[in-house]
Amino acid sequence: MKTITKHYIDGAFVESHGRETMDVISPTTGKLIGRVTLADVEDTRRAVAAAKGAFVDFSRSTKEERAKILRRLHEVSSARIDDLTAAMVEEYGGVVQFAGLIVQTGVNAFVAAEQALHELPLTRSWGKTTVTLEPVGVAGLITAWNANTLFICLKLASAIAAGCTVVIKPSELSSLQTQVLVEALHEANLPKGVLNVVTGLGNVVGAELVGNPDVAKISFTGSVAVGETIMRDGAKTMKRVTLELGGKSPTILLDDAALDQAIPSALVMAFMNSGQACAAGTRLLVPKNRLDAVKQGIRDAIHAFPVGDPADPKTAIGPMVSQKQYDHVQSYIRKGIEEGAEVLVGGEGHPTGFEAGYFMKPTVFVNVKNNMTIAREEIFGPVLCVIPYDSEDEAIRIANDSQYGLHAAVLGTDLQRARRVASQIRAGRVVINTMTDDPQGPWGGFKYSGIGREYGRYGIEAFLETRAILES
Ligand code: NAD
C-alpha cells in the first residue's frame, strides 16, 4: 500500500499540516491501494506565500531562461513516462492504450510551450509607446482527475512560459499519479517556490486558492458546477479565470461517409478514456436514410471495444473511476430507458466476469431525441446516443442545440462539404474525419464548456497581462 503524507512547497517535499486522510481505492479491484494525507488551508497559504516570494525574480526572467526551464521539465518528465502511465492505469483505471497517449501529450506540452514562447512577441512598440506582455502573477492550477498528467503539464508549461509561479491543486483522485509527476519535476531544479503542489479537497484547498488575494489567476479543468463557483467566488478578488469545463459533443455523420471507417471513428470518439473524457463524442447524428446500416455497423464494430483489465493493451474500456461515478453512469442508462430510448448494445449492470471493480458495458442508445436527458447532460461514461436527422441543416441545428460547445466531429467523404458543416458548429474545436490533436491549436469551449483557451500561444496568453509605457 502506498502512503503519501507530504506536499511540495518552496522546492521541497514537506509534511502535511492538514491531518485528514483519504483512502485510494483501485477501480479495477475495489481494493484499498493507498492513503493520502490531505492539505488544509495552512498548507495552501504556505504554498501561495512561496509562490508569491518566487514571483519577484521569476517574473523578470528572460524568454531564454524560461525556454531552458521548459526543456528541463520535458527532459525529467520524459524520463518517467512509463511510471506515469502505470500510475494512471493503477489509480483510476485508465486503459493503458489511452493513458500512454495522454502522458506523452502531457510531457510534450513543455516542448510545445517552448516553441510557442519562441514565436510569441512579448514586446511591441511604435512611436513613443511600448507595449509588453507581463506575467499575471501567482497562478492557482486546479485540475480534474481524468487526464491528470496532461492537465498539470499543460497548465504548468503555459504558466512557466509566461513567467508565472504556480500552486497546483490536483484532483484528490489523482494523488498517486501526482506524486510520481512531482518527483520527476523536482529533478528539474526549478528556482525554489516557482512550483508548489498541494493535494487536498476542492472545498478546502481549491476554495482557498480561489479566495486568496495573493493568487491572481485560476486555471481550472473540471465540471460546470465548480466552474460557476470559481467565477462567482473569484470575483471578490478580481481573479482572471480560464475554465475548461464539460461537453456533450456531437459527431455528425454525413450521408456520404464511408461507414466502415466512420463507425469505428465515431465509437473511438465516444468511448475514449472509457467515456470519461470531456471531448467524448457522445451524440452521434445520423442521416435517417442510413440509420439501419449504421445500427448494423455499430453492432459489428462494438466487438473491437472489449472491456477488461486496463493494464492489458488490448482493452478499450476500463472501469469507471469510482463507485460514485459507476452509480452516476448507471443512473443515466436507467433514465434513457425510462425516457423511451432503446438500448442497441450494452445496458445496465456489470459485464459478466467483471463484477469486482467499477466496470460497465459500453452502451449505445438509438431512438434518442435531442431533448432527452441522456442527450443533454454530460454522462462521463461509455454511453453513446444515436440521433437521426433529415437534412444537413437539421444536423447542424441539433449539433448546436446544446448548452455545451467544447468539441465536435464531422465525418464525410466530400471534404468541402465537411468543412462547410464544420464551420457552422459552435464549438471550440471541430475535427474532420478522425480524432486528432495539434499542440499549438487552441483548446477550450464555447457556451457552458468554459472560458478561455489552452495550448500553444493561446495557453500562454492566458497567463499574461498587457502593459503600455508611453513617453512624452
Ligand atoms: P470537478 O469539478 O468535480 O473537480 C475538478 C477539480 O476542482 C478537482 O481538483 C476538485 O477538487 C476541485 N474543486 C471541487 N470543488 C472546488 C471548489 N469549491 N473550489 C475550487 N476547486 C474545487 O470535476 P471532476 O469530476 O474532477 O472532472 C470531471 C469534469 O471535468 C467533467 O465535467 C469533464 O467534462 C471536465 N473536464 C473538462 C476538460 C476540458 O478540457 N474542458 C478536461 C477534462 C475534464
Ligand 1 pocket test target in 245, 328, 406 with most atoms within 8 Å of CB: 245
Kindly report the protein residue whose alpha carbon is nearest to atom 37 of ligand 1.
245
Per-residue pLDDT of the chain (472 residues; tens, 9 = 90+): 999 999 999 999 999 999 999 999 999 999 999 999 999 999 999 999 999 999 999 999 999 999 999 999 999 999 999 999 999 999 999 999 999 999 999 999 999 999 999 999 999 999 999 999 999 999 999 999 999 999 999 999 999 999 999 999 999 999 999 999 999 999 999 999 999 999 999 999 999 999 999 999 999 999 999 999 999 999 999 999 999 999 999 999 999 999 999 999 999 999 999 999 999 999 999 999 999 999 999 999 999 999 999 999 999 999 999 999 999 999 999 999 999 999 999 999 999 999 999 999 999 999 999 999 999 999 999 999 999 999 999 999 999 999 999 999 999 999 999 999 999 999 999 999 988 999 999 999 999 999 999 999 999 999 999 999 999 9
Q: What angle do CA 446, 452, 457 make, to 5 degrees?
A: 125
Query: How far apart (Å, rounded) are the C-alpha atoms in residues 271 and 381?
Result: 8
CA of 48 to the centre of ligand 1 (A): 21
Distance 222 CA to ligand 1 centre (A): 2
Beta strand 404-405 with 217-221 is unpaired
Cα 248 to Cα 54: distance, rounded to the nearest angstrom: 40
Residue 244 CB less than 6 A away from ligand 1: yes
Atom of ligand 1 nearest to the CA of 454: 40
Contact 374, 275 (CB under 8 A): no
Residue nearest to atom 12 of ligand 1 (CA): 202
Backbone angles phi, psi at 134, to 5 degrees: -115, 145
The residue length of the chain stands at: 472
Per-residue pLDDT, 412:
98
- Between the CA of 221 and the centroid of ligand 1 the distance, in Å, is 5
Our answer on whether the CB atom of 206 is closer than 6 Å to any ligand 1 atom is yes
Cβ(142) – ligand 1 distance below 6 Å: yes
**DSSP one-letter code for 74:** H
Whole-angstrom Cα distance, residue 69 to residue 85?
23
Task: Compute the distance from residue 170 Cα to the ligand 1 centre, in Å.
Answer: 10
Closest residue CA from atom 39 of ligand 1: 244
Ligand 1 center to residue 85 CA distance, Å?
Answer: 21
User: Is the distance from the beta carbon of residue 144 to the nearest atom of ligand 1 less than 6 Å?
Assistant: yes
State the catalytic residues: 244, 278
Q: Quote the ligand 1 centre to 141 CA distance (angstroms).
A: 11
- The response to whether residue 223 sits with its C-beta less than 6 Å from ligand 1 reads yes
CA-proximal residue: ligand 1, atom 18 (nearest): 203
**Residue 8: which of 130, 182, 132, 234 has the closest Cα?**
182
Q: What are phi and psi of 342, to 5 degrees?
A: -115, 135
Q: Do 152 and 159 form a contact (C-beta atoms < 8 A)?
A: no
Cell, residue 100: 500512454
The string of DSSP letters for 347-366 reads -SSPPTT-TTTT----EEEE
**CB 246 near ligand 1, within 6 Å:** yes
